[in-house]
Amino acid sequence: MKRGSGVLMHISSLWGEYSIGSFGKEALEFVDFLSECGFSYWQVLPFCMVDECNSPYKSYSSFGGNPYFVDLDTLFEKGLLTGDDLRSARQETPHSAEYVRLYHTRFNILKKASQRTDEEYRKKVEDFIESDFYLNQFCDFMALKSANGEKCWTQWTVDKADSEILYAWKFIQYEFFTQWAKIKSYANSKGIKIIGDIPIYVAHDSADVWGNREFFRLTSDGEPKLVAGVPPDYFCPDGQLWGNPLYNWEEMKKDGFSWWKERLKSMFSLFDGVRIDHFRALESYWAVDAKETTAKEGSWQKGPGKDFIDAINSVKGDKIIIAEDLGLITEEVEELLAYSGYPGMRVLQFGFLESGDNPHKPHNYPQNSVVYTGTHDNNTLLGYVWELGEGQRRELMEYAGHFGDWNLGYDSIIRMMFMSGADTLILPIQDLLGYGSDTRLNIPGKADGNWQFRITRSQLGEINTEKYKRLNFLYKR
C-alpha cells in the first residue's frame, strides 16, 4: 500500500431517509468529502447480510449482498417504487439504524419493486445471477429458507421454492451489485480506493455450508462437530465461543482452496482490497467441541498456512490484502505474515492500556502496516481517553507531545498518528468528529444495541476538511 490515509465507516452509518445507509447519493457525497480531505482510502465492513444481533460477521452468505444497502430512491427513479412506497419506508427513529423495522419490512418493499420489472429487465437479472455460481446458490438458499418457514437448513422438508420469492432475491442481488459498482467507479475516479472486509468464518445456517458441506467439519446430519472461538485471556476468563463451524482444511486443500479463491475473487470485484479477519487462524485456530458452552476446553489446531497464502495470491493480482493480526500472536503467526508480505494491523488503543512497551505504540509501527486509532470493535478515541486510568492517560498525552489539560490534547493524538512511519493510517469516522463512547459501533459479546450508529449530513459538514487536507499534505499521506 502506498503511504496514505483513510476513513473507516460502514455503509450502514451513512445518513439518509430510509432506516439505514445505502448505495445512494449519500455515498457519492461521502466520496467527495474524502477527496476534499486528501484521504486515499474508504474502509468498510462486510457487505453480507446481518445476523439477529445486526452483525455482518455471521451471515447467510459470504457472496450475497445485504438487501438493506439497496438504494430505494434509485428504484423510484427507475419506476419500480412509488411515492407511497418511499413514504412507508421513511425513517422513524432519527439518526439510528432501524434493524427491527428493516427486518420486518424491507424485503417486502424490494419484492414489490421486483414484481414491477418488465421482461427485458428480468432477463438482465437472470443472466447476471446465472453468471455467478455462488450468488445463484445464495438466492436458491434464501428462497428455500423462506419456503421452509425460515428454519435452519438441517430442518428443511420443502425442496421447492416460490418462483416470485426466488426472483425477488435475484433482483435484490442484481440491484445491490450494479448500484455499488457505480459508487466504486466514482470513488476510483476521485482517487479513492475501497477496502472491504472478509470475516474468517461463516455461519452454520448459510448457503456457504448448505451448498459446500464437504468443506466444513460436520456430523452426518449436518451439525457442526467443532466450532470456532478464542481461548480464555485477561479480558474474558471463559474465552469467546463464536460457534461458527470450522473448515475442513484438508478437503479444501485437495481442490486447491477453490471455494476460498472464488470468495476472494468475488470480494476483489467489489473492492480494491480487503482485510482478512482473524488472520492468525490461518496458522493455528482454536477448536471447541460443539457441545461445549464456553471456549475454555478447546485446543489449538494447525491452519492451512503457506499453502493457503499461495492459493489466494494466485488470484490477488494488484489488489490489497490486509492481515488482521490482532490477539494472541506467536512467532509462527509472525512468520506466516512475513511470508505473505501483507501489511498487518496496529491499534493505538492497545498501546496505552497498561504501562510498558508494546507493538501498538507508534514508535514500534512497521512501515508495512495499517494503523488505527481504533477499529469497529473498539471504543471511540475520545471515549477511550476518557476511560483510561489517570496514569495511562498522562502517558498517552505526553507521548503525543501534549503536557497541558488533557481535554485539549485530542488533536495532538490525531497528529501523532499522521506522523507515524506506518504506510497507512485509518481513522474511524467518529474519531474525525471527536465523538464519545455513546457513538461506539460495536461492543463484542454484547447482543443488543450494536451496529446502529449513523451520522447526519450536517455532522459531516462540521468536520474541518482543510485541517485533514493539511495533515495529509504535511505528512505525505
Q: What angle do CA 469, 342, 251 make, to 5 degrees?
A: 140
What b-and-e string marks burial along 386-424, b requiring 16 or more CB atoms within 10 Å of the CB? eebeeebbbbbbebbebeeebeebbebbbbbbbbbebbb
Of 32, 73, 377, 395, the catalytic one is 377
What b-and-e string marks burial along 127-153, b requiring 16 or more CB atoms within 10 Å of the CB? ebbeebebbbbbbbbbbbbbbbeeebb
What's the rounded Cα separation, in Å, for the pair 135 and 141? Answer: 10
Of 272, 277, 423, 431, the catalytic one is 277
Q: 16 near 24, Cβ under 8 Å?
A: yes
> Does the annotation mark 377 as catalytic?
yes
What's the rounded Cα separation, in Å, for the pair 156 and 302? Answer: 34
SS3 (DSSP) at 68? helix
Of 98, 140, 205, 324, the catalytic one is 324
Nearest Cα neighbor of 89 from 64, 79, 76 is 76
- Dump the DSSP string for 150-200: T--GGG-------HHHHHHHHHHHHHHHHHHHHHHHHHHHTT-EEEEEE-S
> Does the annotation mark 164 as catalytic?
no
> Does the annotation mark 92 as catalytic?
no
Which residues are tagged catalytic?
277, 324, 377
